[in-house]
Amino acid sequence: MDPLTTGLLVAGLAAASFAPRAAFILFFARLPIPAAAQQGLRFVPAAVFAALVVPDIAFAGGELRLALDNPKLLAALVAGPVAWRTRNTLATILAGMAALHLAERFLA
Amino acid sequence: MLPVLPGVGTFGLICGVAMVGSGMSPAAAMALSLAAYAGTAQLAALQLLGAGAPLAVIFLAALVLNLRFALYSLSMAPHFRAATTPRKWLYAYLLSDNGYAHFVARYASHPDAPGKAGYYLGACAMIWSVWQGSTALGVALGAGVPPAWRLEFTVTLTFFALGISVIRDKAMAVAAATAAVTAVLAVGLPYRLGLLAAAGAGIAAGVVADRWTR
């Protein structure tokens, strides 16, 4: 990562993280949020996380690969039940990483 | 000592390891952590950067992920209306999911109870210190790990675990499934705009499903 990109990334993320926090404490102290926006906000984490994760595990080498020869998909199939059962991020990561490395070793 | 601190520390550690695993230098990773102090947005940014997204899309995605802070900010604003402006800057910077949760658990029903600002600052300072300390530890550990370990995949797995843990009802599952399918269909869109399209479709589907299931 070159220094300019790094600098812009840090500055931009600082702004994108501070602005929502400061919005009402510092700036629009008396502005109401519409009810529809509040309803929508509830779904932000589930929607954004799914949109971040699924392309990374469903695609390999630029092609959709929904088959068991896709190591990341295999890792997700192992990590999913662990996440569901334990609700524990660390346990999910350990299971998923172990599955990824095993899958890459045996599929290669 | 807040009961949430071990969880904060674990996620901070993961975030630190994942940042250097995605190719950031240790100094840049710590600068990002101190400046943004928003773990999920930081990880999302790195994942998108690795996928070739332009900075504008990355900032928008981070803003969407951080919108929940605006809701906390709205709910905190009446409590801190009398504070000085520098104090308000500090309160805003320190606002976190767990700090907010602790504060409202104690003061939402007793807004006139004494020690509000002190309690908020104390809780937030503890959470902030544990977060930054554990991130630094994760950065130090991650920097010693060879690329063959594929630590960048921990970012995806983190979001996978968080995504599954936030799905608590049918409407939420509909939102996640819609976003997932849209993300796959829209993967060819330029500038990784598929992410924003998928998030929008998922949120809309969730709101609609919410009305139907009620």
Report whether pLDDT(A29) > 90: no
pLDDT single digits (tens) B28-76: 999 999 999 999 899 999 989 988 899 999 999 999 989 888 878 887 8
pLDDT at position B188 is: 85
* Cross-chain CB nearest to A26 (options B88, B163, B207): B88
Query: In chain B, what is the greatest distance between 2 CA atoms, to the nearest angstrom?
Result: 56
The answer to whether A11 contacts B162, with C-beta atoms less than 8 Å apart, is no
pLDDT tens readout for residues A33-47? 677 777 888 898 899
Q: Distance between CA atoms of B173 and B31, rounded to whole angstroms? A: 35
Query: What residue segments make up the domains of chain B, in order of their start?
Result: 5-150, 167-214
pLDDT of residue A101: 95
Domain ranges of chain A: 1-31, 44-107
Task: List the end-to-end C-alpha distance of chain B, in Å, as a whole number.
Answer: 40
Using DSSP's 3-state secondary structure scheme, residue B75 falls into helix
> Would you say residue A26 has pLDDT above 70?
yes
Count of helices and strands (H, E) across chain B:
10, 0
Query: pLDDT digit of tens for each residue in chain B (214 aa)?
Result: 566 788 789 889 989 999 999 889 999 999 999 999 999 899 999 989 988 899 999 999 999 989 888 878 887 888 888 899 999 999 999 999 888 888 887 887 777 778 889 999 999 999 999 999 999 999 999 998 887 888 888 888 988 988 898 888 999 999 999 999 999 999 888 877 888 899 999 999 999 999 988 7
Distance CA B41, CA B58 (A): 9
CB-based contacts of A73: which residues, under 8 Å, 6+ apart? A57, A58, A65, A66, A67
Q: State which H helix or E strand residue A60 sits in.
A: strand A59-60
Phi, psi of B38 (to 5 degrees): -145, 85
- Report the residue from B47, B62, B202 with minimal CB separation from A13: B62
pTM for the predicted model, two decimal places: 0.81
Chain B residues within 8 A of A87 when measuring between CB atoms: 164-165
* B contacts of A24 (beta carbons < 8 Å): 70, 73-74, 76-77
Torsion sign over Cα B189, B195, B199, B200: negative
H/E stretch holding A59 reads strand A59-60
Binning pLDDT at 50, 70 and 90, where does residue A30 land? low
- What pLDDT was estimated at residue B1? 56
Instruction: Among A9, A59, A72, A92, pick the best mutation site for testing chain B contact (most B Cβ within 10 A).
Output: A9
Residue B162 to residue B166: CA distance in whole angstroms:
6
In chain A, the N- to C-terminal Cα span, in Å, equals 30
The pLDDT > 90 percentage for chain A reads: 58
Record: contact A101-B92, CB cut-off 8 A:
no
